[in-house]
Amino acid sequence: MKDGTTNVLIVGVGGQGVLLASEILCEVAKVMGLDAKKSEVHGMSQRGGVVTSHVRFGKKVHSPLIEEGAADVILAFEIAEGLRWVHYLRPGGTLIASDQRIVPPIATTGKFAYPEKVEETIKARVPKTKVVNAFEIGKRLGNTRLVNTILLGVLSREIDLEESKWLQVIERMAPKGTGEINKKAFTEGRAAK
Partner 1 sequence: MEMLLSGNEAFARGVYEHGGEFASAYPGTPSTEILETLARQCKADVYCEWSINEKVALEVAVGASWGGARSIAAMKHVGVNVAADPLMTLAYTGVGAGLILVSADDPSLHSSQNEQDNRFYGKFASIPVLEPADSQESLDMVKDAFEISEKFDTPVLFRVTTRIAHSKGLVKIGERRTVEHAGFEKNIAKYVMMPVFAIVRHRMVIERLEALKRFAETTPLNAVEMGDTKVGVISGSVAYQYAKEVLPGASFLKLGLGFPLPMNKIMDFASKVDRLIVVEELEPFYEEQILAAGIPCEGKKFFSNFMELNVERVREGFIAAGALPKSSALPKQAQENVLPRPPALCPGCPHRGLMMALKKCGVNITGDIGCYTLSALPPLETIDTCLCMGASINHAFGIEKAKKTKKKTVAVIGDSTFLHSGITGLANVVYNRGTQTTIIVDNRITAMTGGQDHPGTSRTLMGEKTHAIDLVELVKALGVEHVRTVDPFKQEETIAVLKEEIAREAPSVVITTKPCVLFPSKLKAVTKFHVIAEKCTACGACFRIGCPAISASSEKNEKGRAKSQIDLELCTGCTLCFQVCPEEAIQELKK
Q: Which residues of this protein are in contact with partner 1, per CB under 8 A? A: 13-14, 23, 26-27, 30, 35-50, 61-70, 80-81, 83-84, 86-87, 89-91, 103-109, 111-115, 121
CB of 70 to partner 1, least distance (A): 6
Q: Quick one: 95 or 159, whose CB is closer to partner 1?
A: 95
Residue 77 contacts by C-beta under 8 Å, 6 or more apart in sequence?
Answer: 10, 11, 12, 13, 16, 17, 18, 21, 98, 100, 147, 148, 151
Kindly tell me the burial class for residue 111, based on how many C-beta atoms sit within 10 Å of its own C-beta (0-12, 13-18, 19 or more). Answer: exposed
Q: Quick one: 35 or 158, whose CB is closer to partner 1?
A: 35
CB of 35 to partner 1, least distance (A): 6
Q: Quick one: 70 or 134, whose CB is closer to partner 1?
A: 70
CB of 153 to partner 1, least distance (A): 21
Q: Quick one: 77 or 187, whose CB is closer to partner 1?
A: 77
CB of 191 to partner 1, least distance (A): 28
DSSP string, 110-172: SSS-PPSSHHHHHHHH-SSEEEE-HHHHHHHHT-GGGHHHHHHHHHHTTS---HHHHHHHHHH
